[in-house]
Structure 1
Amino acid sequence: MEGRTTIIRTVDDVIDARAVTTVFQPIVRLDSWNRRRHEVVGYEALTRGPAGTPWEEPLPLFEAAAGRGRLAELDWVCRAAAYRAALDAGLPFGVTLFVNAEPAALGVPCPPDLAPTILDAQLRLRVVVEMTERAIGHDPSALLTAAEACRGAGWGVALDDVGAEPASLSVMPFVHPDVVKLDQYLTQRPARGDAARVVNAVVAYAERAGAVLLAEGVETREHLDAALGMGATLGQGWLFDRPGPLPPDVRTRPGSATVPFVVAPASPGGRTPYELVAARRPTAEATKRMLLPLSHYLEARAHDPAEPPMLLASFQDARHFTPATARRYQALARDASLVTVLATELPSAPAQGVRGIALAGDDPLRGEWNVIVVGPHFAGALVARDLADTGPEEQRRFTYALTYDRDLVLDAARALLQWVVPT
Structure 2
Amino acid sequence: MAAEDWTAGWDKREDPAALIPRVLARRAVFPLYQPIVDLATENIVAVEALARGPAGSPLEFPDALFAAAVRAGMMPLLDQLCVARAMEIARDAAEGVPPLVFLNAEPAALNHPYTPELLAVVHSERPYRAVLEFTERALADHPAALLNIAAGVQQTDGALALDDVGADPLSLAFLPLIEPEVIKLDMHLLRDPHAPATIATAATVTAHAERAGAMVLAEGIETEADAATARALGARWGQGWLFGRPGPLGALAGRPTDPHARLRPPRPDLHMPDGTPFSMAAVRHHSRAGDQPMIDGLTGYLLSLAADAGPYAVVLGAYPDAAVGRAWLPRLASLAGRAAFVGVVGPAPIAADARPLRTAVAPAEGPATRETVLAVVGPHTSAALCVRPGPDGGLDFVVSHEPDLVRAIIRMLMRRLDAAAERLDPPTAGRWTSPAVTP
Q: TM-score range by the shorter chain?
A: 0.7 to 0.9
Aligned partner (choices 280, 283, 291) of residue 279 of structure 1: 283
Cα drift, residue 374 of structure 1: 0.7
Partner amino acid, structure 1, of 2:6: T
- Residue in 2 aligned with 1:220? 223
Cα drift, residue 96 of structure 1: 1.0
Secondary structure in 2 aligned to 1:31? Answer: coil
CA distance in 2, matches of 1:230, 1:204: 12
CA distance in 2, matches of 1:333, 1:3: 49
Contact 2:6 2:19 in 1 (8 A): no
CA distance in 1, matches of 2:392, 2:414: 28
Give the CA RMSD over aligned residues: 3.2
Moved more, 349-358 or 99-108: 349-358
Secondary structure in 2 aligned to 1:56? Answer: coil
Aligned partner (choices 386, 403, 417) of residue 406 of structure 1: 403
CA distance in 1, matches of 2:187, 2:136: 14
Secondary structure in 2 aligned to 1:48? Answer: coil
Larger RCO (CA within 8 A; separation ≥ 6)? 2
* Long gaps (5+) in structure 2: 420-424, 426-438
Q: Are 1:97 and 2:101 an aligned pair?
A: yes
Cα drift, residue 219 of structure 1: 1.0
Moved more, 235-244 or 141-150: 141-150
Q: Are 1:371 and 2:374 an aligned pair?
A: yes
Contact 1:343 1:358 in 2 (8 A): yes
Cα drift, residue 222 of structure 1: 1.5
Check 1:307–1:48 CA distance in 2 against 1; reply closer, same or farther (3 A cut).
Answer: same
Contact 1:302 1:308 in 2 (8 A): no
Check 1:223–1:251 CA distance in 2 against 1; reply closer, same or farther (3 A cut).
Answer: closer
- Residue in 1 aligned with 2:293? 289
Contact 2:288 2:398 in 1 (8 A): yes
- Residue in 1 aligned with 2:83? 79
Secondary structure in 1 aligned to 2:284? Answer: coil
Deviation string, structure 1 residues 187-225 (Cα, Å, up to 9, x no partner)? 232122311221122112211211111111111122111
* Long gaps (5+) in structure 1: 33-37, 391-396
Identity of aligned residues (%): 35
Moved more, 65-74 or 108-117: 108-117
Check 1:6–1:191 CA distance in 2 against 1; reply closer, same or farther (3 A cut).
Answer: same
Secondary structure in 2 aligned to 1:409? Answer: helix
Deviation string, structure 1 residues 152-210 (Cα, Å, up to 9, x no partner)? 23211111111112112222222221111111111232122311221122112211211
CA distance in 2, matches of 1:15, 1:190: 45
Cα drift, residue 60 of structure 1: 3.3
Moved more, 82-91 or 153-162: 82-91
CA distance in 1, matches of 2:279, 2:132: 33
Moved more, 51-60 or 312-321: 51-60
Deviation string, structure 1 residues 321-371 (Cα, Å, up to 9, x no partner)? 22x53333333334433333234556699933323152333x222332211
Moved more, 85-94 or 19-28: 85-94
Cα drift, residue 20 of structure 1: 2.4
- Residue in 2 aligned with 1:340? 343
CA distance in 2, matches of 1:206, 1:357: 36
Moved more, 352-361 or 183-192: 352-361
- Residue in 2 aligned with 1:359? 363
- Residue in 1 aligned with 2:204? 201
Aligned partner (choices 30, 36, 43) of residue 21 of structure 1: 30
Deviation string, structure 1 residues 86-111 (Cα, Å, up to 9, x no partner)? 23433577521111111111111233
Cα drift, residue 414 of structure 1: 3.7
CA distance in 2, matches of 1:246, 1:65: 26
Count of aligned pairs between the two proteins? 409
Aligned partner (choices 162, 176, 180) of residue 177 of structure 1: 180
CA distance in 2, matches of 1:384, 1:39: 52
Contact 1:188 1:217 in 2 (8 A): no
1:225-240 correspondence runs (5 A)? 225-240=228-243
CA distance in 1, matches of 2:373, 2:117: 46
Contact 1:302 1:335 in 2 (8 A): no
Moved more, 56-65 or 172-181: 56-65
Q: Are 1:60 and 2:55 an aligned pair?
A: no
Contact 1:28 1:234 in 2 (8 A): yes
Partner amino acid, structure 2, of 1:68: A
- Residue in 2 aligned with 1:45? 49
- Residue in 1 aligned with 2:250? 247
- Residue in 2 aligned with 1:393? none
Cα drift, residue 21 of structure 1: 1.8
Check 1:176–1:241 CA distance in 2 against 1; reply closer, same or farther (3 A cut).
Answer: same
CA distance in 1, matches of 2:204, 2:268: 19
Secondary structure in 2 aligned to 1:167? Answer: helix
Contact 2:3 2:55 in 1 (8 A): no
CA distance in 2, matches of 1:113, 1:383: 44
- Residue in 1 aligned with 2:436? none
Contact 1:272 1:365 in 2 (8 A): yes
Moved more, 195-204 or 342-351: 342-351
Deviation string, structure 1 residues 361-405 (Cα, Å, up to 9, x no partner)? 3x2223322110111221111122223777xxxxxx423232323
CA distance in 2, matches of 1:223, 1:207: 23
Contact 1:19 1:49 in 2 (8 A): yes
Cα drift, residue 45 of structure 1: 0.8
Secondary structure in 2 aligned to 1:232? Answer: coil
Give TM-score, length-normalised by structure 2: 0.82
Secondary structure in 1 aligned to 2:354? Answer: coil
Partner amino acid, structure 2, of 1:136: L
Cα drift, residue 30 of structure 1: 0.4
Cα drift, residue 407 of structure 1: 2.7
Deviation string, structure 1 residues 54-111 (Cα, Å, up to 9, x no partner)? 4333223323322332221121121122123323433577521111111111111233
1:78-157 correspondence runs (5 A)? 78-91=82-95, 95-112=99-116, 115-120=119-124, 123-157=126-160
Q: Are 1:6 and 2:6 an aligned pair?
A: yes
Give TM-score, length-normalised by structure 1: 0.85
CA distance in 1, matches of 2:141, 2:44: 34
